[in-house]
Amino acid sequence: MTTDGSTQHLLLVDDEAGFRDAIADRLTDMGFVVTQAGTGEEALERLGDFAFDIIITDLRLPGISGREVLDDALARYPDIIAIVITGFGTVREAVEITRLGAEGFITKPFQFEELAHEINAAIEKRRLKAENAYLRAQLHDRFGIDGIVGRTKVMMDLFELLRTVAATTSTVLITGETGTGKELAARAIHDASPRRAQRFVAINCSAIPETLLEAELFGHVRGAFTGAVANRIGRIEQAHRGTLFLDEVGTMSPALQAKLLRVLQTREFERVGDSQPVRADVRVIAATNSDLKKMVEEGTFREDLYYRLNVIPVRLPPLRERRADIPLLAQHFLDRLAGQNPERGRVTLSQDAQQLLMAFDWPGNVRQLENVIERAYTLSPGRTQITAADLPDEVRQTGAILNPDEIVFPEHGIEMERLVNDFEYALIRRALERTGGNKRMAAELLHVKRTTLIEKLKRFERVT
């Protein structure tokens, strides 16, 4: 049996008939369908009339060489698993062979088990690769950009923007409240950009003391300051040809702002303690949850730097502006937890829990939702459904607002219009559920005109 259970067709090329027969027998025992070829010419012929999954070939053949056979096989079937048998097994030859596209090589004489291992490992590698490609494609279909969940209009527009921006090297300024996914968006841009194979280097400007931040960003030479015992390259240089993510850029000191401005203008800077200018090719993405424009007006953030950073503004909407994504996000986090705890199985949300989550204002945005879901999941061991009772008080309180007698006005007040709208929407949805989606009957049930119901639905669903 082969690793993944499907039949695999294998072409075995070797000029020693006895050796070839012996190997072919063992491979047949393993479950492969084996075709043999004694010469390069014969191998090419076989390759011409069948798409083999695997080719195993000796390098030294009379006439057409193993290398030519290999070239032909890989050109015809780029996904074929190629394993080379060589009598000389030098490192140089091995490297060359793998560069040609062969999966691996094996040196004569060898134990059959070595060959079997080589084949199985290659098959497994292929399977994982195919699986990953499939999962990635699925993620793309479902979520637009890897790992960012959202189906509302604002998020669709955001994905579009991220994709467009990814193709450029322009500087991007990502703004948004805490927990809205700014870092996720920055990574998504990098991952979708031509720089994806290079590094994504993140630095949180607010997490590093001012004095260290400069050396961290620009690097330093030995003896530049106490403790600088060796030369060290900074984050900017680490991100050469890749992406530099400057998180919380609003917290930078005026002196550093000036130095950063120069990097953005010239891509040139000096390591701390050195006068030699260094150049780095970096794509800069900055993020902030403070109002940089206001900081410019107040004189705490350089105006010229602001414009240099804000070439392409990307705003991440707070969760309360895209409530329709809440159930989707919640389920996404639950599914991720299920992946980590396969023995518990898939966990879903009850209808009332979903409604509460959608009604809550989420000051901490997606991160807060993620935490609430994780907490509810942990505190409901063994169950396959999370209900309203599993949610924290602050979230449950929102639901009580639907009953005006139970309103406790929070300090910041409530948004009456939105609450009334949500209530209306909830009623319409319930009515539609009752009537199996029939709008005329639902309108009758609610004593409104059918056109009124349709118009309201359209208004609500504009955000979905």
Ligand X SMILES: Nc1ncnc2c1ncn2[C@@H]1O[C@H](COP(=O)(O)OP(=O)(O)OP(=O)(O)O)[C@@H](O)[C@H]1O
- Integer CA distances (angstroms), 120 to 1, 8, 106, 110, 436, in order: 10, 11, 14, 16, 52
Does residue 51 contact residue 33 with C-beta atoms inside 8 Å? no
Q: Is 230 helix (H, G, I), strand (E, B) or coil?
A: coil
Q: Is residue 251 at the binding interface for ligand X, with CB under 6 A as the rule?
A: no
Would you list the DSSP string of 349-414? E-HHHHHHHHHS--TTHHHHHHHHHHHHHHTSTT-SEE-GGGS-HHHHHHHHTTSGGG----TT--
Q: Is residue 367 at the binding interface for ligand X, with CB under 6 A as the rule?
A: yes
Q: Pairing relation of β-strands 219-220 and 232-233?
A: antiparallel
Sign of the torsion formed by the C-alpha atoms of 75, 76, 78 and 82: negative
- Identify what 366 binds: Mg ion, ligand X, none; CB under 5 to 8 Å per kind: ligand X
Q: Is residue 274 at the binding interface for Mg ion, with CB under 5 A as the rule?
A: no
CB 178 → ligand X: shortest distance, Å? 4
Cα R_g (the chain), whole angstroms: 31
User: Per-residue x/- mask for ligand X, residues 391 to 430, rule CB under 6 A?
Assistant: ----------------------------------------
- Identify what 367 binds: Mg ion, ligand X, none; CB under 5 to 8 Å per kind: ligand X
The residue type of 346 is R
Distance, in Å, from the CA atom of 448 to the CA atom of 439, rounded to the nearest integer, reads 11
Q: Is residue 180 at the binding interface for ligand X, with CB under 6 A as the rule?
A: yes
- Identify what 176 binds: ligand X, Mg ion, none; CB under 5 to 8 Å per kind: ligand X
Question: Residue from 12, 119, 148, 326 that binds ligand X (CB under 6 A)?
Answer: 148
Which residue number, 218 or 362, has a Cβ lying nearer to ligand X?
362
Q: Which residue is nearest to ligand X (CB)?
A: 181
Q: Is residue 334 at the binding interface for ligand X, with CB under 6 A as the rule?
A: no
Distance, in Å, from the CA atom of 262 to the CA atom of 172, rounded to the nearest integer, reads 17
Binding part of the chain for ligand X, among 36-44, 74-82, 363-371, 375-383 by CB under 6 A, reads: 363-371
CB 297 → Mg ion: shortest distance, Å? 24
| Count of chain residues binding ligand X (CB under 6 A) | 17
Which residue number, 83 or 149, has a Cβ lying nearer to ligand X?
149
CB 142 → ligand X: shortest distance, Å? 11
Main-chain phi, psi angles of 372, to 5 degrees? -65, -40
CB 337 → ligand X: shortest distance, Å? 13
Which residue number, 352 or 370, has a Cβ lying nearer to ligand X?
370
Question: Residue from 40, 66, 179, 318 that binds ligand X (CB under 6 A)?
Answer: 179
- Identify what 148 binds: ligand X, Mg ion, none; CB under 5 to 8 Å per kind: ligand X
- Integer CA distances (angstroms), 125 to 27, 33, 94, 335, in order: 19, 20, 19, 26
Does residue 242 contact residue 232 with C-beta atoms inside 8 Å? no
CB 296 → ligand X: shortest distance, Å? 20
Q: Is residue 15 at the binding interface for ligand X, with CB under 6 A as the rule?
A: no
| For helices 254-266 and 210-218, angle between their N-to-C axes, nearest 10 degrees | 10
Question: Residue from 182, 190, 308, 322 that binds ligand X (CB under 6 A)?
Answer: 182
Q: Is residue 183 at the binding interface for Mg ion, with CB under 5 A as the rule?
A: yes
Q: What share of the chain is helix, strand, coil (3-state, %, to 5)?
A: 50, 15, 35
Range 354-374 burial, b when 16+ CB lie within 10 A, else e: bbbbbbbbbebbbebbbebbe
Q: Is residue 242 at the binding interface for ligand X, with CB under 6 A as the rule?
A: no
- Identify what 217 binds: ligand X, Mg ion, none; CB under 5 to 8 Å per kind: none
CB 366 → ligand X: shortest distance, Å? 3
CB 40 → ligand X: shortest distance, Å? 53
Identify the CA nearest to 205 among candidates 171, 255, 242, 147: 255
Binding site for Mg ion (CB under 5 A): 183
Residues that bind ligand X (CB under 6 A): 148-150, 176, 178-184, 289, 329, 332, 366-367, 370
